[in-house]
Chains A and B, each alone.
Chain A
C-alpha cells in the first residue's frame, strides 16, 4: 500500500471544499450547466440515463480494507447499495444525487480516495497490473512508477486541457495483464544489458471508433528520464493533437496520421531540449516514493501445506483453485482472484455487503490489501496457501467464488443502454444470458481460456475490439443489433479482432456465440490450443461459415 503524505491529504481536502462550493453555486443558479459541466467532469461526475454517475479513482487498482469499506459506505449511504468496477480499475456509482456528491467526496477523502481526473480531457487514472508487486518474475513493482506518474500528472496545469482524454498503463511482467498496448501511453518496465531499470515506451494505442495497437516509440528510456520523456510526448500531442474534431482528437490519430517515425522525431526533438532539466528523477526521488509503499512481512510457509492437500480432494475447491489461484513470488503464498461475474449477474458489480465482507477477508487473509483488475474482478494479493480452503468457503458464501476466472463467462462488459447515455444497445443482459448458457463449469473448463468483451456502443468501454470474442451493440432502425469480432487480444500480443459478418439481432447473440464456441471445439488442433490461437491459425472464415450458414 502507498501511504499518502500531508500534501496529498491537503490536496484532496481542498478539492472537496472547492467542489462543494461549485455544486452549491450550480444548485443556486449562479453557475449554468454549461459552466458547471467541465467542473463536474473534472471530479468524475457524468450525467447518465437515470441519474448522475460518479467515477472514483483507484490508482493502479490498489485498495486497503479501510478504503474498500468506505467505498461500501458510499454505495450504501449515497447510492443504491452497490458499485461497478470498471475496465480502468476505477469504481462507478450509478444513482448518486448531485446535492449529496460533496458529502460523498468528503467521506472518501477521509481514507485518501478522490475522483480527480476520472473524466475530462486530462491524464486519467494510471492503471497497472493487478498482480503488481507479487507476480513471480516481475522486474520490480510497477506501482512505484505508476505513483510517480500519478503525482506528476495530478492537476498538471499544462496537461489539464489536452485535446482529449489521456490514459497510461504500466506493466513490469512479461505477460501483460494491464493491456498497455491499447493505451495512449503504455510502459513496459525492463532492464537493459547493463542492468539499468527503464521502460519500453509505446504510444498511440486505443480502442473506440478507431482502434489502434500502440507502437513502440522508444525501446528503452532510462527510469531517470521517464517523466521528461512522457512530458515530451504530451507536449507534442498538446501542440499537434486535433481539437476541431472529437473523433480525431486522441493521440492515436496523431500518431497514425504523422506516422510513428515522424511523431518519434518530434518527441525526440522536444525531449532533447529538456531531458536533463528539472524532471530528471534522481534515485532519492524514486526511493522516497518506494519507501511510502509498505509490503507485508511474509512468513516462511510450506508451498504445499496440509490444508491444501486435504482440500484438493474436494472437486468444487479444486475447480475454483485451478482458475482463481495464481502463483505468488513468495513460496507458501498465492494471489486469489475474486470473480465479480456470477452466473446471471452484471459483470463487475459488487454490493456494499460484499465489499464490506471482502474488506474483512482481506484483513484476515491478505494483509488488508485488495486489488482491482481491468477485467472487472478483484484480487487478494497476499494469501497464505494454508488459508485457501477457508478463504474459498468464505468467498463462496458471499458470491465471489464462481470458478470462471479467464473462462467464457468471465465477461468484460460496459454498463450499456441500461445505464449509459452514449450507448446504442444493452450490454449487461447479453452478458447475463451468456453466463447462463455457459454456466456448466465442466464445459467452460473444456473450452478453456476465452475472453468475451461486450460494448454497448462504438466508444468501446467494454474493450470489444480486443476480446477473443468481441460483441459491439449498434442500432439499426431502432432495434438493437450486435457486430461480432473474433481473434482480438489485449495482452503482449495485442491485436484487434476481425468482424465475422453482418450484425445479428439481440435475440440471436447468445446462439451465435454458442455456434462460434462449438466451431472452435471442433476445429482446434489440440485440447490446449486456445480459442484465440485457433482463430489465428485458421482465420475467421470457418467461424463465419458456421454462424451464417443457417442465418
Chain B
C-alpha cells in the first residue's frame, strides 16, 4: 500500500474518491458531490478521470479548516453500485482495524 503521502502526480486509472481526516477529531471523511464531507464512503463523490480528480482534490484542499491531508484514493464499484475501498489501506481506514481493539468499543 504505497502511502498517499508519496502521491505526487495525479493520474487515476479507475474510479476514485477524495478522502481526508476531519480537523477537530481526525476521523476519516470523504468529499461529497455537494461540496461537503461525509464519514460514510457511500456518500463520496466518484471521479473517473484525472481532471475530475484534480478538481475535486483542489476543492477539498481549499477547505483547510474542515479537513487535513486530503488525497485521492481508489475505490471499486460493484454491480449494485456500492462503493468499496480500492486497497487494504483504504479498507482499514473505511472499515476499521483488522484486529480487535484491546478494549471493545
Contact = CB atoms under 8 A, between A and B. Distances in A.
Interface of A: 26-29, 32-33, 47-52, 80-82, 96-99, 345-346, 349-352, 417-419, 421-426, 428-429, 432, 457, 475, 478, 480
B92 A425 contact: no
Interface in B42-99: 64-65, 68-69, 87-89, 92-93, 96-99
Contact of B64 (A33, A345, A478): A33
Q: Determine which residue in A48, A49, A97, A351 has the highest number of CB atoms from chain B within 10 A of its CB, and name it.
A: A49
B34 interface: no
Contacts of B28: 49-50
Contacts, number: 92
Contacts of A429: 98-99
Q: Which 8 A-B pairs have the closest CB atoms?
A: A81-B103, A51-B26, A97-B25, A29-B65, A52-B26, A82-B102, A418-B97, A99-B24
A426 B102 contact: no
A98 B26 contact: yes
Nearest to A52: B26
Nearest to A426: B98
A50 B3 contact: no
A417 B102 contact: no
Given A50-B26, A417-B88, A423 B1 contact: yes
B98 A351 contact: no
Contacts of A419: 97
Given A346-B102, A418-B99, A478-B87, A33 B68 contact: yes
Nearest to B103: A81
Nearest to B97: A418
A50 B96 contact: yes
Contact of A345 (B21, B23, B69, B102): B102
Instruction: Please classify the interface of chain B as helix (H, G, I), strand (E, B), loop, or mixed, using the class held by over half of its residues.
Output: loop
A49 B89 contact: yes
B27 A417 contact: no
Contact of B2 (A96, A97, A98, A424): A424
Contact of B25 (A81, A98, A480): A98
Contacts of A80: 101, 103, 105
Interface in B17-39: 21, 23-28
Given A47-B69, A51-B25, A82-B102, A417 B64 contact: no
Given A47-B69, A50-B93, A417-B88, A27 B102 contact: no
A423 B98 CA distance: 14
Given A33-B23, A350-B102, 8 more contacts: A29-B64, A29-B65, A48-B26, A49-B28, A51-B27, A351-B102, A424-B2, A480-B88
Contact of B1 (A29, A81, A350, A417): A417
Nearest to B21: A47
Contact of A49 (B25, B68, B92, B101): B92
12 contacts: A27-B23, A47-B69, A49-B93, A50-B96, A52-B26, A80-B105, A82-B101, A98-B24, A345-B102, A417-B92, A421-B3, A424-B1
A174 to B, nearest CB: 36
A478 B73 CA distance: 13
A422 B98 CA distance: 17
A26 B26 contact: no
Contacts of B105: 80
A10 B81 CA distance: 58
Given A33-B68, A50-B96, A81-B103, A421 B23 contact: no
B89 to A, nearest CB: 6
Given A97-B24, A98-B23, A349 B2 contact: no
B27 A50 contact: yes
Given A49-B93, A421-B3, A424-B1, A432 B26 contact: no
B103 A418 contact: no
A27 B1 contact: no
Contacts of B68: 33, 47
Contact of B5 (A50, A421, A475, A478): A421
Contacts of B21: 47, 51-52
A10 B103 CA distance: 35
Given A47-B68, A424-B2, A349 B102 contact: yes
A352 B92 CA distance: 25
B14 to A, nearest CB: 12
Given A346-B102, A417-B89, A32 B24 contact: no
A202 B3 CA distance: 34
A32 B101 CA distance: 33
A421 B73 CA distance: 13
A135 B34 CA distance: 63
Contacts of A352: 103
